[in-house]
Structure 1
Amino acid sequence: MKLTAPIPVLRIFDEAKAKAFYVDWLGFTVDWEHRFGDDFPLYLQVSRDGCVLHLSEHHGDATPGSRLRIHCDDIDGFATDLKQRPYKFAHPGAPEKMPWGTRELTLGDPFGNRLTFSSPPG
């Protein structure tokens, strides 16, 4: 038996805002999208490197305001990449050194979810 990394489901309320944040700014790719019919809520998977997220407009799939941690092997490179991409709703600073040894950058999505990108300790 083998367990794999979990895939978090984050609640979204607006497809255009979600894609502007996750795809256009953070650099994720849309892997697939699903709707049960016309004018139904969207459920989609986005990924970047080994990070996979599910985003859902379905009521009850997830709670707005969730927080998740995403390990990043080059937090400074990631922060530099974000600063080079235009996104008028966020202008992140430099990653912060944490007391437990990691360096972290926390970003809020348009729906109240918080994503903390974290470097390895040391």
Structure 2
Amino acid sequence: MTLFKNQITAFHVSDMQKALDYYVGVLGFTKDWEWQHAENFPVFASVSHGEHTLYLTEHRECAPGGLVYLYFDSPQDVDLRSQFIQEKGGTTDFGPIDQAWMLREVQVSDPFGNKIRFCARLPAGGEK
């Protein structure tokens, strides 16, 4: 049996240019591609960062307000991502914080209410 290779989350956005400005300009993603069937049709785009890909869509099949966890290799990477976002003028909802469930997390919300938690596993005993 073939196992799933990857998973991609799709977020609903109501303004693709505003979404791309946020995901590329503030969060540091790269725009992979953008597609629109015809003028005045909804836009669909792909952004990525490392091994993580997100789809952004103006189509209505996604409800706004989704949540995705994006994992980094180390807790320090979470701290660096938080710092990067703040340097680009972004804000965080919370964190970085070491959670009781052994993850360091920082959460951001895009302009459309979708949430991303950047996280990394903490070593046994926690890490400061």
**Both structures adopt the same fold (TM-score exceeding 0.5):** yes
How is 1:30-109 mapped onto 2 (pairs within 5 angstroms)?
30-59=31-60, 61-73=61-73, 74-87=77-90, 90=91, 94-109=95-110
Q: Which amino acid aligns with 1:115?
A: I
Q: Which amino acid aligns with 1:83?
A: Q
Q: What are structure 1's unaligned runs of at least 5 residues?
A: none
Range with bigger deviation, 29-38 or 92-101: 92-101
Q: Which amino acid aligns with 2:113?
A: G
The Cα of 1:121 is off from its aligned counterpart by 2.7
Q: What are structure 2's unaligned runs of at least 5 residues?
A: 124-128
Q: Which amino acid aligns with 1:29?
A: T
> Does structure 2 conserve the Cα–Cα contact (< 8 Å) formed by 1:83 and 1:92?
no
Range with bigger deviation, 41-50 or 74-83: 74-83
Q: Which structure features the higher share of strand residues?
A: 2
Q: Which amino acid aligns with 1:71?
A: Y
Give the number of aligned pairs: 119
CA distance in 2, matches of 1:8, 1:47: 11
CA offsets 1:63-107 (integer angstroms, 9 cap, x no match)? 1111111102211111121122124xx256640110011100011
Instruction: Name the % identity.
Output: 30
TM-score (norm. length: structure 1): 0.90
1:119 alignment partner, SS class? strand
TM-score (norm. length: structure 2): 0.86
RMSD over aligned Cα atoms = 1.4
CA distance in 1, matches of 2:89, 2:51: 24
> Does structure 1 conserve the Cα–Cα contact (< 8 Å) formed by 2:82 and 2:92?
no
> Does structure 1 conserve the Cα–Cα contact (< 8 Å) formed by 2:94 and 2:107?
no
Q: 1:9 corresponds to which residue?
A: 10
- Structure number, greater radius of gyration: 2
2:83 alignment partner, SS class? helix
1:43 alignment partner, SS class? strand
